[in-house]
Structure 1
Amino acid sequence: MLLHLPTSVSEAQECMAREAVPIGGATLVWAGWQRDGFPEHAMSLRELPEANTIGREALGAAVVLHRIDDRVPEALRRAAASVGTGAVRRTATVGGNLIGSALRCLLPAALVLDARAVTLEPDGTYETDLSDAVAKRHLLLGIRWREPIASGYHKQPAEAGGPPPLVVATAAHADAAGRTHLRIAVRDGYDVLTATTPCDTDAERALRALEPTEVGSLPPAARDAVRRQVSDIVTRLADG
Structure 2
Amino acid sequence: MLLRLPESVSEVQECIAEGAVPVGGATLIWAGWQRDGFPQRAMSLRNLPEANVLTEATLGAAVVLGRIDGRVPEVLHRAASTVGTGAVRRTATVGGNIVGSTLRCLLPAALVLEARATVLDRDRVFETDLAELLAKHHLLLSLHWREPVASSYRKLPAEAGGPPPLVVAAAVHTDEDGRGRLHVAVRDGYEVVSDDVPCGTGSDEAIGALGATCVGTLRSAAWQVVREHVTELLSRPVGRPPER
Measured after TM superposition, the shift of residue 135 of structure 1 is 2.2
Measured after TM superposition, the shift of residue 217 of structure 1 is 1.4
Instruction: Tell me the residue number matched to 1:76.
Output: 76
Letter in 1 for 2:188: D
* Distance in 1 separating the partners of 2:12 and 2:122: 9
Answer whether contact 2:181 2:197 (CA < 8 A) is retained.
yes
Deviation readout 1:153-187 (Å, 9 max, x if unpaired)? 00010012110111100001111111111100011
Secondary structure (helix, strand or coil) at the match of 2:164 reads coil
Distance change >3 Å, CA 238–CA 14, structure 1 → 2: closer
Equivalences, count: 240
Instruction: Tell me the residue number matched to 1:133.
Output: 133
Instruction: Tell me the residue number matched to 2:193.
Output: 193
Instruction: Tell me the residue number matched to 1:51.
Output: 51
Normalised by the length of structure 1, the TM-score is 0.97
Deviation readout 1:47-76 (Å, 9 max, x if unpaired)? 000000111111000000000000100001
Measured after TM superposition, the shift of residue 200 of structure 1 is 2.1
Instruction: Tell me the residue number matched to 2:97.
Output: 97
Instruction: Tell me the residue number matched to 1:184.
Output: 184
* Distance in 2 separating the partners of 1:237 and 1:197: 20
Unaligned runs of 5+ in 2: none
Normalised by the length of structure 2, the TM-score is 0.96
Measured after TM superposition, the shift of residue 91 of structure 1 is 0.3
* Distance in 2 separating the partners of 1:61 and 1:74: 18
Instruction: Tell me the residue number matched to 2:34.
Output: 34
Measured after TM superposition, the shift of residue 36 of structure 1 is 1.3
* Distance in 2 separating the partners of 1:55 and 1:215: 30
Instruction: Tell me the residue number matched to 2:227.
Output: 227
Secondary structure (helix, strand or coil) at the match of 1:27 reads coil
Answer whether contact 2:150 2:238 (CA < 8 A) is retained.
no
Unaligned runs of 5+ in 1: none
Measured after TM superposition, the shift of residue 237 of structure 1 is 4.7
Measured after TM superposition, the shift of residue 26 of structure 1 is 0.7
Answer whether contact 1:201 1:235 (CA < 8 A) is retained.
no
Secondary structure (helix, strand or coil) at the match of 2:47 reads coil
Instruction: Tell me the residue number matched to 1:203.
Output: 203
State the identity as a percent: 63
Aligned-pair RMSD on alpha carbons? Answer: 1.2
Answer whether contact 2:152 2:171 (CA < 8 A) is retained.
yes
Deviation readout 1:3-62 (Å, 9 max, x if unpaired)? 110111011111111110001001111111111111111000000000001111110000
Measured after TM superposition, the shift of residue 118 of structure 1 is 1.0
Answer whether contact 1:60 1:142 (CA < 8 A) is retained.
yes
* Distance in 2 separating the partners of 1:111 and 1:9: 26
Q: Which runs of 4+ in 1 moved over 3 A?
A: 237-240
Instruction: Tell me the residue number matched to 1:174.
Output: 174
Secondary structure (helix, strand or coil) at the match of 1:55 reads coil
Measured after TM superposition, the shift of residue 239 of structure 1 is 8.0
Instruction: Tell me the residue number matched to 1:119.
Output: 119
Deviation readout 1:111-170 (Å, 9 max, x if unpaired)? 000001111110011100112211221111111111111110000100121101111000
Letter in 1 for 2:118: V
Measured after TM superposition, the shift of residue 201 of structure 1 is 5.1
Letter in 1 for 2:70: D
